[in-house]
Structures are given as C-alpha cells and as structure tokens.
C-alpha cells in the first residue's frame, strides 16, 4: 500500500513532509531544497516545469510562467482581486481570462495561447512534490493537504480536484493553522491540560488566523479569520515600488519612460532582476541592517551607463511594511471580537509562514500581546507541512473513499474522535422563492462541529411543479453572500402548490456539501447532484438560465414550454442516475442537449413568422407615425436581420411577432 505524506500547497512556496519515527521535510527539486517554489512554466514544446529553477529563470519563461495559482483556486473571474492580478502583468505575467468551457465566472490561465484551469496548474506542483517524495520514500499514494482556514466549499473542491489530477488520494484537507498547532506539539498536552491557541500564519500569498482549543489530545477550531490577499507578495510589491521610486529620484529620470525605450528582452531582464533582488533583500533584512539592490546589473540609463545600486536599510524596510503588520494585528483583534475571546484568554500565539520570520513581525506582536505568549519555531515555513505529515501518519488509508464514487452520506455521522474536531468555517444558506422574491435562509452556522447533517422542510411554489433548483450560498469575505453550488431534482407527479419536501443537507469534515430530498406525498427520495466547478457546473448553469429564459418568454406557447420542461426533466434524470464525475465529457453532451431544447422552444412556427414579417413591413413602411419609436427601431432591426438570415432556423429565432405585438398595442 502506498505511503501517506503531508503537503503544504502554498501560494508562494510548497513543502512536502513525511512521518515515520520522526517528522522530516522531503527535499525537492534538482538541488534538494526544503521549499519548492509554487511556480509553473510551460516550455515551447508544451511541457510543464515546476519549482525553484523555473522561478530563478523568470525572464526565460515570461509570460508563460505562473505564480500564485492558489489565489485563483475556486475564485471568480469577476472578483476584483482577480482583476487586479490580471492587470498586474509584472507580478502575474501569464494570461487570466474567463474559461471558455466553464461557467460565467470560471477562471482560465493562458499559456502559449492554451487555456488551463488553476486546478491543472496546482496539480503540476502537487505532481512534482509527489514524484520527489516517491523517489525518496518509495510509492506515495495518499496525502493530507493543507488549506487556508477561510477556504470555502468551492476552493476546497478545487484543491481536491488538483490532487486527483496529480494522482494523489486525499485523506483529509487540513486547515493550515491546525496543522501548525500539530507541528508545535500541542497534540501532546497532559490529559488535564488545555490551551487556547492563536495561530498567526503570515505566508507568501495569504494571511491566515485561527483560534484553537487544545485539550485532551484534541483540537477544536473555535474561530478563523485573516485575509487571503495579504502576504509576503505584498511586501515584495511595496519594496519593489520603493526601489523604483529611488531609481527615479536618485537618477532624475522617469522609469516608465526609460523602460519604454528598451527592448522586450531588456525589460524582462529588469523585471526578473528586480524581482530576485527584492526577494533576497527581504530575507537579508531579516538578518542584517541593510541590503543592496544591484540595479546596475540589469538596467542602464539613456546613455548606456549602469544605474546606481540602491541600498535599503532595515529601518526604511520596517517603515515601509509597518502598515501591513498593523493590518495583521487589526485582523487579530477583529477575530477576538468576533469569537468573544479576550487577548488574556490566549495561551500562546504560534508564528507560522515565511513572512513571520521578519523581526518586525515578532517585535510588534510582543509589544501588543507580551513576549511570553509568542512562540516561533526555527523554520516556521516548514511547520504546516510537518503538521500535515503528523496527521497523515495517524490516518487509516484503508478507509479512504473517492468522494465522486458515492454521493450518499450518513445522516447520523458523529464528529471524528481523532486529534482534530473540525468545524464549519462559513455560514451556509439556501435560496428560497417567497412571494415572488428570492431570499436566503440559513442552514448551517459557522463553527458548527463537522460532520453535520440537518433536516429542513420546504414546499413547492406552484401547482404541478416539475423541477426544483437547489442553490446554496456561503458568506463571502466582503460581507456579502456568494453562490457556491447548485443542482436540480425532478417531481414526476402532479402535486398542488405547497406540497412538502423534506431536505437533508450534509457537510463533511472537508466542508463538502451533499443534499438529499424526499417528496413527502410520494415518498420518493432523490439525490441532488451539485456542481463542483467543472463541466458539471457549466451544464447545471445552462439548465438554470435556459429554464428562466423559456418559462419567462410570453411568446412561447404553453405546449412548447411543456415539451421543453419534459426534455429538461429527462436530462436531470440522466444526471441523477449516471453518477458522473465533475470533469466527465458527458456533461458537455448534456449541456448541448439543454441548448438544443431551448432553441426548439424559442422557434416560432413558419406561418406565424411570415405573418409577422408582412405586418411589420407594412407598419414600418406605411404607418411609422402610429408605432412607438422604440418598437419601430426594434422592428426595423429585426426585419433587416430576418432578410439577411442564412437559413430557416436563424429566421425563426428572430422574434418579430413578439415585437409586432408590442407595436400593435402602442398604436
């Protein structure tokens, strides 16, 4: 049986570890390093290459090089922070766009003109870690993979998807702060001893906070916070901007103007050189009082003279980044207030992540909370992977089950008796239709121990309702709510409005949602297949939008609507019975069937279309004064489209008759 490893899949760096007699980091890459840069490039032959050597050869691979893919996992293309990444070509040179084969908000990464999902890019990192671990340990099959405490269901599902693509079986997704507490040894407290821990995880791309209660050999997660867009990358940006300003002020030049006169190769050399120097300076300033940025090695002025090197003092560096550290302390205070826990109640603050090595971080935390509370390991950037390895070693791999193999669940499942009591990190809500309005109703509170099942009863809204859509939401970081998944089930019988539907919602330890529903009057139980962000979500979204478009179109006859709904019911039956995996190509086939059903529904019969064309032509040419201007313009446009349409199908899709009806009423 394959071995189980622990993986910290980080935004900036990733680490793999293993526990047998003791816990050890598995070194990776050609140079056997503890940290594997979470950096993926694609060469001209379409091959992926991963790690530190890729990052160090930044200018060779730009723009086909990806960093911070973790920030895009489960994210929306419409997210303002994703748009900021897209606009910042120096930090994120790869293409970011809407995934052409995905849902409306799905994200694609563009390399050499080809689309990849964030999961596919993350899978390359996981595959590299798995291969390096297998080389040193033998066959590696299983993994505990860490995720930020704030990751929602979509983001966790994306992480599992990446692992599956990499050939790894996920034993557990472990919150990074909990992994840190394991690595610090707080699972070995005395039976009568308890501690309240605050984990301060300041990594390269994210800032993660968690409050844990450690007692009786178990961890109970009692609160989580942080900021997934705050990390060491932001420190790099601040320091980089300062260096650019110093270049301009010390040399009396406009840097952007100077770079505009350079070749693409020279610009790439400057970008790559500055990026490497800034990162090295950040590390140097944690040990020394000053660091040098060797600008002269990669930038010349208009006369071909090297630009002077820039020296940065630790005092300057600390003044630049102090607002970021203050922000992390503000987030601690917000979390304490949210959980009604005082700073005095915190036994220890555990420092985790590479950015926590910066002396100012510890100094400011000591000033705020006292030196006796702050704990820091020799290599805090390895702590999370070590904690994951500890948990992996304690788990029974024979009980592993693929989530896609069986979507059934135990309604009476109790919280795990292992070292961690898992809790929900978000509120979960369902969208209901009440009095013609859509409202959100809370199902599961955050901090609820997992796994957890809840039964709720809702009712049909109209007579003879045939299809029910289940839309589920999370609370988002900005205080709003975001849709995380949806699915459908059929009601084959003709039931009156108000018929009772008994729902069972289950949230497992990885915060994967599953839903079953029972029609009370008939006793039929359906499994609701929920979209997980791939072809499945795209197909389910198409079903939702097509139903809304067809059923709200007054120009479509009742018979056509009934035929359309019957076809959609058949498709939903196939989805429920086929037990498709989220990435199966069958979803694409079903999505096309939905689109075809919609097209046939909106088709107008030829006689109606021709009559509409004749009457519209008469109105447009002879009775313009009797037609509302907006309707006149619409009729004119549609007549032109009709005349230029290349085939019958296109002509019948132009709704002249509907516009004509509006125009006739306006006369």
- Residue located via tokens 């860490």: 146
As a whole number, mean pLDDT of residues 385-400 equals: 91
In this model, does residue 422 exceed pLDDT 60?
Answer: yes
Distance CA 281, CA 295 (A): 12
The pLDDT assigned to 567 comes to 95
- Show Cβ contacts of residue 42 under 8 Å, excluding neighbours closer than 6 positions: 48, 49, 61, 64, 111, 112
525-528 sheet: strands from edge to edge: 452-459, 500-507, 513-519, 525-528
As a whole number, mean pLDDT of residues 188-196 equals: 85
Helix (H) or strand (E) holding 295: none
The pLDDT assigned to 205 comes to 78
Task: Collapse the DSSP code of 324 into the 3-class scheme (helix H, G, I; strand E, B; otherwise coil) and give the result.
Answer: helix
- Would you state the structure tokens that stand for residue 524, as one six-digit string? 């039929």
In this model, does residue 30 exceed pLDDT 50?
Answer: yes
Distance CA 333, CA 322 (A): 17
In the structure, what pLDDT confidence band is assigned to residue 654 with cuts at 50, 70 and 90? very low
State residue 97 phi and psi, 5-degree precision.
-155, 175
Distance CA 432, CA 452 (A): 21
User: What is the CA 433 to chain-centroid distance, rounded?
Assistant: 28
Q: Are 555 and 658 in contact (CB under 8 A)?
A: yes
Cα Rg of the chain (Å, integer)? 29
- Show Cβ contacts of residue 632 under 8 Å, excluding neighbours closer than 6 positions: 619, 620, 624, 663
- Residue located via tokens 């446009």: 637
User: What crossing angle do the helices spanning 535-551 and 558-578 adopt, rounded to 10°?
Assistant: 160
**For 259-268, 303-312, 463-472, 643-652, which range has the lowest pLDDT when averaged over its residues?**
643-652
Distance CA 98, CA 84 (A): 14
In this model, does residue 608 exceed pLDDT 70?
Answer: no
- Residue among 227, 160, 271, 204 nearest 532 (CA): 160
User: What is the CA 91 to chain-centroid distance, rounded?
Assistant: 19
pLDDT in tens, 486-515: 999 999 999 999 999 999 999 998 888 999
In this model, does residue 657 exceed pLDDT 50?
Answer: no
The pLDDT assigned to 583 comes to 81
As a whole number, mean pLDDT of residues 426-448 equals: 89
- Show Cβ contacts of residue 573 under 8 Å, excluding neighbours closer than 6 positions: 490
The pLDDT assigned to 545 comes to 93
- Show Cβ contacts of residue 358 under 8 Å, excluding neighbours closer than 6 positions: 235, 282, 285, 286, 321
- Show Cβ contacts of residue 182 under 8 Å, excluding neighbours closer than 6 positions: 219, 386, 387, 388, 390, 391, 419
Q: Are 444 and 428 in contact (CB under 8 A)?
A: yes
Q: Are 384 and 352 in contact (CB under 8 A)?
A: yes
For every residue of 461-504, DSSP letters joined together read: SSTT--EEEEEEEEE-TTSSEEEEEEEEEE--S---TT-EEEEE
In this model, does residue 651 exceed pLDDT 70?
Answer: no
In this model, does residue 656 exceed pLDDT 60?
Answer: no
In the structure, what pLDDT confidence band is assigned to residue 663 with cuts at 50, 70 and 90? very low
- Residue among 198, 150, 184 nearest 383 (CA): 184
The pLDDT assigned to 433 comes to 84
User: What crossing angle do the helices spanning 264-284 and 232-251 adopt, rounded to 10°?
Assistant: 120
In this model, does residue 406 exceed pLDDT 70?
Answer: no
| Residue-averaged pLDDT of the chain | 88
In the structure, what pLDDT confidence band is assigned to residue 416 with cuts at 50, 70 and 90? low
Distance CA 338, CA 576 (A): 40
Q: Are 67 and 92 in contact (CB under 8 A)?
A: yes
Judging by DSSP bridges, how do beta strands 420-421 and 374-376 pair with one another?
unpaired
HSE, side-chain direction, 13 A CA sphere, residue 573: 9
Distance CA 401, CA 551 (A): 40
pLDDT in tens, 271-283: 989 999 998 999 8
Helix intervals (H) in 262-382: 264-284, 314-339, 359-369
User: What crossing angle do the helices spanning 535-551 and 586-602 adopt, rounded to 10°?
Assistant: 10
- Would you state the structure tokens that stand for residue 6, as one six-digit string? 């622990």
- Residue among 124, 121, 159, 120 nearest 143 (CA): 159
In the structure, what pLDDT confidence band is assigned to residue 665 with cuts at 50, 70 and 90? very low
In the structure, what pLDDT confidence band is assigned to residue 414 with cuts at 50, 70 and 90? low
CA 270 to each of CA 18, 145, 259, 447, 536: distance values in angstroms, whole numbers, following the listed order: 39, 36, 9, 48, 43
State residue 42 phi and psi, 5-degree precision.
-120, 125
Q: Are 433 and 476 in contact (CB under 8 A)?
A: no
In this model, does residue 638 exceed pLDDT 50?
Answer: yes
In this model, does residue 380 exceed pLDDT 60?
Answer: yes
The pLDDT assigned to 410 comes to 65
Distance CA 19, CA 5 (A): 8
The pLDDT assigned to 664 comes to 40
As a whole number, mean pLDDT of residues 253-280 equals: 91
In this model, does residue 413 exceed pLDDT 70?
Answer: no
pLDDT in tens, 38-93: 999 999 999 999 999 999 999 899 999 999 999 999 888 988 889 999 998 888 99
In this model, does residue 217 exceed pLDDT 80?
Answer: no
- Residue among 636, 624, 618 nearest 666 (CA): 624
- Would you state the structure tokens that stand for residue 178, as one six-digit string? 């909990």
- Would you state the structure tokens that stand for residue 662, as one six-digit string? 């509006």
- Residue located via tokens 């205080």: 479
Residue % of the chain over a pLDDT of 70? 92
pLDDT in tens, 544-594: 999 999 998 888 888 889 999 999 999 999 999 988 888 888 999 999 999
- Would you state the structure tokens that stand for residue 478, as one six-digit string? 């900005």
Distance CA 182, CA 178 (A): 6
Q: Are 385 and 126 in contact (CB under 8 A)?
A: no
- Residue among 449, 455, 400, 397 nearest 425 (CA): 449
- Show Cβ contacts of residue 174 under 8 Å, excluding neighbours closer than 6 positions: 144, 145, 146, 147, 387, 388, 391, 420
Distance CA 508, CA 504 (A): 13
CB-based burial, 541-575: b 16+ in 10 Å, e otherwise: bbbbebbeebeeeeebeeebeeebbebbbebbeeb
Distance CA 400, CA 542 (A): 33
pLDDT in tens, 89-106: 888 999 999 998 777 788
In this model, does residue 652 exceed pLDDT 80?
Answer: no
């Amino acid at each position: 049986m394959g071995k189980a490893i622990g993986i910290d899949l980080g935004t900036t760096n990733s680490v793999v570890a293993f526990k047998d007699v003791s816990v050890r980091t598995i070194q990776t890459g050609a140079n056997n390093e503890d940290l594997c840069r979470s950096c993926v490039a694609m060469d001209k032959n379409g091959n992926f290459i991963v790690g530190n050597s890729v990052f160090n050869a930044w200018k060779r691979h730009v723009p086909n090089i990806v960093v911070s893919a973790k920030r895009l996992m489960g994210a929306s293309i419409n997210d303002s922070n994703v748009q900021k990444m897209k606009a910042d070509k120096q930090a994120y040179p790869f293409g970011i766009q809407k995934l052409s084969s995905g849902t409306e908000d799905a994200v694609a990464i563009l390399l050499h003109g080809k689309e990849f999902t964030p999961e596919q890019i993350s899978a390359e990192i996981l595959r590299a870690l798995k291969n390096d671990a297998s080389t040193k340990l033998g066959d590696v099959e299983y993994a505990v993979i860490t995720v930020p405490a704030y990751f929602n269901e979509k983001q966790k599902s994306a992480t599992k998807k990446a692992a599956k693509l990499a050939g790894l079986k996920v034993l557990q997704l472990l919150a990074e702060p909990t992994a840190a507490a394991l690595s610090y040894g707080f699972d070995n407290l005395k039976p009568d001893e308890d501690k309240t821990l605050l984990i301060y995880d300041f990594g390269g791309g994210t800032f993660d906070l968690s409050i844990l209660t450690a007692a009786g050999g178990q961890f109970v997660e009692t609160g989580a916070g942080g900021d997934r867009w705050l990390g060491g990358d932001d420190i790099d940006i601040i320091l980089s901007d300062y260096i650019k300003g110093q270049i301009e002020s010390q040399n009396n030049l406009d840097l952007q103007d100077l770079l505009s006169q350079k070749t693409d190769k020279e610009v790439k050399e400057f970008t790559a050189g500055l990026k490497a120097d800034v990162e090295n300076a950040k590390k140097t300033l944690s040990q020394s009082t000053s660091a040098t940025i060797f600008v002269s090695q990669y930038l010349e002025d208009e006369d071909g003279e090297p630009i002077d090197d820039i020296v940065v003092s630790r005092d300057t560096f600390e003044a630049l980044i102090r607002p970021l550290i203050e922000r992390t302390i503000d987030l601690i205070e917000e979390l304490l207030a949210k959980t009604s826990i005082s700073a005095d109640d915190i036994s220890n603050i555990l420092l985790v992540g590479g950015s926590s090595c910066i002396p100012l971080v510890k100094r400011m935390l000591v000033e705020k909370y006292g030196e006796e509370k702050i704990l820091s390991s020799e290599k805090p950037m390895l702590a999370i992977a070590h904690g994951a390895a500890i948990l992996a070693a304690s788990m029974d791999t024979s009980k592993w089950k693929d989530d896609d193999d069986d979507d059934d669940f135990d309604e009476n499942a109790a919280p795990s008796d292992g070292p961690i009591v898992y809790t929900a990190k978000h509120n979960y809500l369902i969208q209901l239709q009440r009095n013609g309005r859509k409202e959100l109703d809370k199902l599961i509170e955050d901090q609820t121990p997992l796994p957890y099942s809840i039964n709720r009863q809702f009712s049909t809204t109209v007579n003879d309702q045939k299809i029910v859509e289940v839309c589920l939401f999370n609370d988002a970081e900005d205080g709003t709510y975001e849709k995380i998944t949806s699915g459908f089930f059929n009601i084959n019988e003709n039931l009156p409005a108000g018929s009772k539907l008994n729902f069972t919602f289950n949230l497992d330890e990885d915060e994967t949602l599953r839903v079953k529903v029972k029609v009370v009057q008939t006793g039929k139980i359906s499994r609701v297949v929920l979209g997980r962000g791939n072809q499945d979500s795209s197909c389910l979204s198409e079903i939702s939008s097509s139903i809304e478009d067809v059923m709200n179109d007054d120009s479509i006859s009742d018979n056509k609507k009934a035929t359309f709904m019957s076809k959609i019911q058949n498709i939903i039956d196939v989805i429920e019975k086929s037990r498709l995996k989220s990435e199966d190509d069958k979803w694409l086939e079903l999505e096309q069937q939905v689109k075809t059903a919609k097209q046939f529904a909106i088709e107008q019969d030829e006689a109606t279309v021709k009559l509409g064309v004749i009457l519209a032509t008469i109105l447009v040419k002879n009775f313009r004064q009797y037609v509302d201007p907006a309707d006149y313009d619409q009729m004119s446009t549609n007549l032109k489209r009709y005349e230029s349409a290349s085939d019958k199908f296109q002509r019948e899709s132009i709704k002249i008759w509907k516009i004509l009806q509006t125009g006739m009423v306006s006369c």
